[in-house]
Chains A and B, each alone.
Chain A
Amino acid sequence: MTASTTEPGAAAHREVELQKLDDVVIRFAGDSGDGMQLTGTQFTNTSALVGNDLATFPDFPAEIRAPAGTVAGVSAFQVRIADYDIHTPGDASDVLVAMNPASLKVSLRDLKPNGVLIVNADEFDERNVKKAGYETNPLEDGSLDQWRVFKVAITKLTHEALKDTGLDAKSQERCKNFFALGMIYWLFSRPLDATVQWLQEKFAKKPELADANLRVLKAGWNYCDINELFQVRYEVEPAKLPAGTYRNVVGNTALALGFVAASRRAKLPLFQGAYPITPASEVLHELSHLRRYGVTVYQAEDEIAAMAATVGAAYGGSLAVTVTSGPGMALKMEAIGLAIMTELPMVIVDVQRGGPSTGLPTKTEQADLFQAVFGRNSEGPVPVLAASSPADCFDCAVEACRIALKYMTPVILLSDGYLAFGSEPWRLPRPEDLPDLRVAHHTDPATFQPYRRDPVTLARPWAVPGTPGLEHRIGGLEKADGSGHVSYDALNHEKMVRLRAEKVERIVADVPDAVVEGAPEGRLLIVSWGSTAGATKGALRVARREGYDVSRVHLRWLNPFPKNFGEILSRFDTILVPEMNLGQLAFLIRGRYLREVVSFPKVQGKPYYRSEVLKKIRDILGEK
Chain B
Amino acid sequence: MSAETAVLTKKDFQSSQEVKWCPGCGDYSILSAVQSVFPELGIPRERFVVVSGIGCSSRFPYYMNTFGFHSIHGRAPAIATGLKMTRPELEVWVVTGDGDGLAIGGNHMIHTLRRNVGLKIMLFNNRIYGLTKGQASPTSELGKNTKSSPLGTVDYPFNALSVAIGSGATFVARTIDVMQPHMRGVFRAAAEHQGSAFVEIYQNCIIFNDRAFAAITDKEVRDEATVLLEQGKPLVFGKEKDKGIRLNGFELEVVRFADGFGPDDCLVWDATRQDPTLAFMVAQMAPPHFPTPIGVLRDVARPSFEQIVAEQMQREIDTKGAGNLEQLFREGDVWTVNEDGSIS
Residues of A participating in the B interface, judged by any CB pair closer than 8 Å? 45, 48-51, 194, 238, 240-248, 257, 260-261, 264, 269, 271, 273, 290-294, 296, 298, 300-302, 304-305, 308-318, 320, 334-335, 337-338, 342, 428-429, 431, 464-477, 485-486
- Interface membership of B237, Cβ < 8 A: no
Give the contacting residue for A296; candidates B85, B330, B337, B339; CB below 8 A: B85
Q: Would you mind naming 14 contact pairs between A and B with Cβ atoms under 8 Å apart?
A: A49-B335, A244-B336, A247-B331, A264-B325, A301-B111, A308-B71, A308-B82, A309-B85, A465-B47, A472-B68, A473-B68, A475-B69, A476-B70, A477-B70
Stretch at the interface among B141-149, B198-206, B314-322: B314-322
In the complex, what distance in Å separates the CA atom of A428 from the CA atom of B326?
A: 9
Secondary structure dominating the interface of B: mixed
Measured as residues with beta carbon below 8 angstroms from the partner, the interface class of chain B is: 35 or more
Evaluate contact between A309 and B323: CB separation under 8 angstroms.
no
**How far, in angstroms, from A245 to B46 measured CA to CA in the complex?**
48
Question: In the complex the two chains form, is A45's CB within 8 Å of B81's CB?
Answer: no
CB–CB A428/B330 < 8 A:
yes
Q: Check if B313 is an interface residue, CB within 8 A of chain A.
A: yes
Q: Given A245-B330, A245-B335, A338-B71, does the pair A431, B325 have CB atoms closer than 8 Å?
A: yes
Rank and list the top 5 A-B pairs by shortest CB-CB distance, nearest first.
A312-B82, A475-B70, A309-B82, A308-B78, A51-B343
Cβ B86 vs Cβ A335 within 8 A? no
Q: Which residues of B contact A304 (CB under 8 A)?
A: 75, 78, 108
In the complex, which residue of chain B has the Cβ closest to the Cβ of A301? B111
Cβ of B34 within 8 Å of any chain A Cβ, yes or no, is: no
Q: Which of B72, B328, B335 contacts A260 (CB 8 A)?
A: B328
Residues 89-110 of B at the A interface (beta carbon under 8 Å): 89-90, 107-108
A312-B82, A313-B86 as given contacts; A305 in contact with B111, CB under 8 Å:
yes
B240 within 8 A of A: no
Stretch with Cβ within 8 A of A (4 or more), from B58-66, B184-192, B266-274, B295-303 = B58-66
Check B334 for interface membership: any CB of A closer than 8 A: yes
Q: Are A248 and B333 in contact (CB under 8 A)?
A: yes
Shortest beta-carbon distance, B117 to chain A, in Å?
A: 10
B85 touches A244 (CB 8 A): no
A260: min CB distance to chain B, Å: 6
Known: A51-B343, A294-B322, A318-B86. A312 touches B81 (CB 8 A): yes
B337 touches A246 (CB 8 A): yes
**Are B333 and A466 touching (Cβ within 8 A)?**
no
A465 to B316 CA separation, bound complex (whole angstroms): 27
The answer to whether residues A315 and B333 also contact, given A335-B75, A470-B46 and a CB cut-off of 8 A, is no
Q: Are B68 and A429 in contact (CB under 8 A)?
A: no
CB-CB under 8 A from B47, the residues of chain A are: 465-466
Q: Give the complex CA separation of A476 and B86 in angstroms.
A: 22
- Are A317 and B87 in touch, CB under 8 angstroms? yes
Q: Is the interface of A mostly helix, strand, loop or mixed?
A: mixed
Q: Establish whether residues B79 and A431, one from each chain, have CB atoms under 8 Å apart when the complex forms.
A: no
Interface centre among B15, B326, B343 (most CB of A within 10 A): B343
Whether the Cβ atoms of A428 and B338 lie closer than 8 Å is no
Which of B72, B317, B329, B333 is most buried by chain A, counting CB atoms within 10 A of its CB?
A: B329
| CB within 8 Å for A316 and B62 given contacts A246-B337, A304-B75, A470-B46 | no
Interface check B67, CB cutoff 8 A: yes
**B67 shortest CB reach to chain A, Å:** 4
Question: What chain A residues lie within 8 Å of B256 (beta carbons)?
Answer: none
Complex: how many Å from CA A338 to CA B47?
A: 23
Contacts of B52 in A (CB 8 A): 475
State how many angstroms separate the Cβ of B313 from the closest Cβ of chain A: 5
The chain A residue sitting closest to B114, CB to CB, is A301
**Is B180 part of the binding interface, using a Cβ–Cβ cutoff of 8 Å?**
no
**In whole angstroms, how far apart are the Cα atoms of A264 and B322 in the complex?**
11
Q: Choose among A45, A296, A316 the residue with the greatest number of B CB atoms under 10 Å from its CB.
A: A316
Closest-CB distance, B255 to chain A (whole angstroms): 42
Asked whether A246 lies within 8 Å of B335 as measured between CB atoms, the reply is yes
Q: How far is the CA of A304 from the CA of B335 in the complex (A)?
A: 41
CA distance A318 to B90 in the complex (A): 14
CB distance from A429 to the nearest CB of B (A): 7
- Residue B232 CB within 8 A of the other chain: no
A292 to B89, CA, bound (A): 20
B70 touches A473 (CB 8 A): yes
Q: Is B309 an interface residue (CB 8 A)?
A: yes
The answer to whether B81 and A298 touch across the interface, beta carbons within 8 angstroms, is yes
A308 & B337 in contact (Cβ 8 Å cutoff): no
Whether A292 pairs with B321 at a CB distance below 8 angstroms is: yes
Task: Find chain B residues with CB under 8 A from A292 CB.
Answer: 313, 316-317, 320-323
Beyond the given pairs A292-B317, A471-B65, 15 more chain A to chain B contacts, judged by CB atoms under 8 angstroms and listed by A's residue number, are: A48-B335, A49-B343, A292-B323, A296-B86, A305-B107, A308-B71, A312-B79, A312-B83, A312-B86, A313-B83, A315-B82, A335-B75, A337-B72, A465-B87, A467-B46
Question: Quick check: is B2 within 8 A (CB to CB) of the other chain?
Answer: no
In this complex, the member of A260, A311, A314, A431 whose beta carbon has the largest number of chain B beta carbons within 10 angstroms is A311
Instruction: Tell whether, in the assembled complex, residue A305 and residue B46 are in contact, meaning their CB atoms are under 8 Å apart.
Output: no
Q: Which of B46, B69, B85 is A298 in contact with, Cβ under 8 Å?
A: B85
Which chain B residues border A311 with CB–CB below 8 Å? Answer: 71, 79, 82
Please state if A476 and B71 are interface contacts (CB–CB under 8 Å). yes
Q: Which residue of B lies closest to A427 (CB)?
A: B337
Chain B residue numbers with a CB within 8 Å of A247 are 329-335
Q: Is B132 an interface residue (CB 8 A)?
A: no
In the complex the two chains form, what is the Cα distance from A466 to B329 in whole Å? 34
Chain A residues closer than 8 Å to B90, beta-carbon distance: 316, 465-466
A334 to B15, CA, bound (A): 28
User: Which residue of chain A is the closest to B81 with respect to CB atoms?
Assistant: A309
Q: Could you tell me if B333 and A48 are in contact, using CB atoms closer than 8 angstroms?
A: yes
Whether the pair B79, A296 counts as a contact (CB closer than 8 A) is no
Closest to A313 in B: B82
- What's the nearest-Cβ distance from chain A to residue B119, in Å? 11
